[in-house]
């Protein structure tokens, strides 16, 4: 006899408001239904009422963890409509900020995953490292969350103390190799909670079109930083971690390995960053847009973010700003991940996608 167990929309096992209706037999989940739309904010419509300076500040608030990535993608789309190319130093600063944000996101997720496994000590260790990353972001931008770094044609702030970033990178690498990766990969508790749990096969991942670490943990080696380089990523030497197993442990490993690769990218970007200007001359208050639609794609910590921006020549406001976030395409996969799983494992399985409904219900 089957029965239905609702999880959400407000639940301790969920990061944000959405709902999973799980159809169970005993303690085994046979199927699930996903419901979203509990937190609509109307940001895309608001973007049509803001000028080209205000819209950057608005879209930075789509997501608190990926705020830099959202404005980077928006600015790259608007740069196509204005014909502006950021100076080389600005491109490097964009890479540095993007990788710092990736570190912040992945370490935060590792802490949440540890908490859901019952690893309270590891949760505190991850959040201590996260604080160090956020301290660096605050030192660069003045803010811990929304950094206001991007502008059309460049960035607003320079990185004046590269050694501060390098010191944090060294401390983070040491903690990852000494504590976090060994415990997550060798602990019997972590293995029993993660290995073989929430499996998404390569074939199913391709058919669903998942992106980011979820795709790479199912054996799909797609990463826009390699496949369609933007900013200064074309000048960076790094590896895209791919694990074929498709379970929660694979998603954990992919993110841990990506942290190490981000540290490698940061070292290169900081050592090779050229001198020069960080933005076009002027105060950034006058731009000429052409009529048309431009699209930009960026590899956010959770996967591909896409912006489509439409403008009419002479207008100060966009006629349309559309955002496609990685959670929007990744979350349908949760239905297949929980099929056959134990009911007790479902909070960890859905968390392994690292869902963000601030992005999805924008």
On whether the CB atoms of residues 205 and 219 are closer than 8 A, the answer is yes
- Total domain count for the chain? 1
pLDDT, residue 212, reads 95
Is residue 3 in some structural domain? no
pLDDT of residue 40: 79
Q: Which pLDDT value is given to residue 13? A: 62
For residue 21, is it within any domain?
no
Q: Is there a domain that residue 13 lies in?
A: no
Tell whether 130 is covered by a domain: yes
Return d(Cα 295, Cα 221) in angstroms, integer: 23
Contact 165, 270 (CB under 8 A): yes
8 is a domain residue: no
Mean pLDDT by runs of 10 across the 362 residues of the chain is: 82 75 92 85 91 94 91 97 95 97 93 85 89 94 92 94 93 89 83 89 96 96 95 96 94 94 96 93 79 97 96 92 93 93 90 84 74
pLDDT of amino acid 284 = 63
CATH value at residue 282: 1.10.645.10
Please report whether residue 6 resides in a domain: no
Is 31:295 a contact under the CB 8 Å cutoff? no
Which candidate, 177, 242, 194, 249, places its Cα nearest to that of 215?
242
Which pair of structure tokens corresponds to residue 115? Answer: 């908490």
Asked if residue 332 belongs to a domain, the reply is: yes
Residue 28 domain-assigned (yes or no): no
Q: Which residue range is the domain that position 124 belongs to?
A: 43-360
């Amino acid at each position: 006899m089957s029965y239905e167990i609702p999880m959400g929309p407000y639940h301790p096992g969920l990061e944000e408001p959405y709902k999973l209706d799980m159809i169970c037999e005993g303690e085994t989940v046979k199927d699930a239904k996903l419901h979203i739309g509990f937190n609509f904010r109307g940001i895309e419509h608001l973007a049509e009422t803001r000028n080209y300076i205000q819209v950057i500040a608005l879209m930075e608030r789509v997501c608190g963890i990926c705020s830099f990535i959202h404005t980077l993608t928006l600015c790259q789309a608007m740069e196509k409509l204005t014909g502006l190319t950021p100076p080389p130093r600005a491109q490097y600063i964009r890479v540095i900020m993007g990788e710092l944000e990736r570190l912040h996101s992945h370490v935060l997720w590792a802490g949440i995953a540890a908490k859901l496994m019952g690893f309270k000590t590891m949760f505190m260790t991850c959040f201590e490292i996260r604080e160090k990353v956020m301290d660096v972001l605050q030192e660069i931008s003045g803010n811990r969350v929304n950094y206001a770094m991007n502008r059309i044609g460049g960035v607003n702030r320079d990185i004046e103390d590269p050694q501060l970033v390098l010191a944090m990178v060294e401390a983070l690498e040491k903690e990852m190799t000494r504590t976090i990766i060994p415990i997550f990969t060798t602990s019997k508790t972590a293995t029993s909670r993660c290995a073989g749990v929430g499996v998404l096969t390569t074939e199913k991942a391709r058919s669903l079109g998942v992106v980011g670490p979820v795709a790479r943990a199912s054996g799909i080696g797609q990463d826009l930083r390699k496949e369609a380089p933007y900013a200064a990523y074309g000048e960076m030497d790094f590896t895209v971690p791919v694990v074929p197993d498709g379970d929660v442990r694979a998603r954990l490993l992919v993110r841990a390995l990506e942290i190490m690769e981000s540290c490698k990218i940061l070292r290169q970007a900081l050592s090779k960053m050229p001198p020069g200007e960080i933005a076009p001359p002027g105060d950034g208050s006058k731009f000429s847009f052409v009529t048309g639609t431009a699209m930009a794609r960026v590899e956010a910590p959770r996967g591909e973010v896409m912006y489509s921006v439409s403008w009419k020549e002479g207008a100060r406001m966009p006629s349309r700003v559309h955002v496609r976030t990685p959670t929007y395409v990744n979350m349908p996969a949760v239905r297949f991940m929980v099929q056959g799983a134990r009911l007790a494992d479902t909070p960890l399985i859905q968390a392994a996608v690292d869902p963000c409904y601030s992005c999805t219900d924008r």
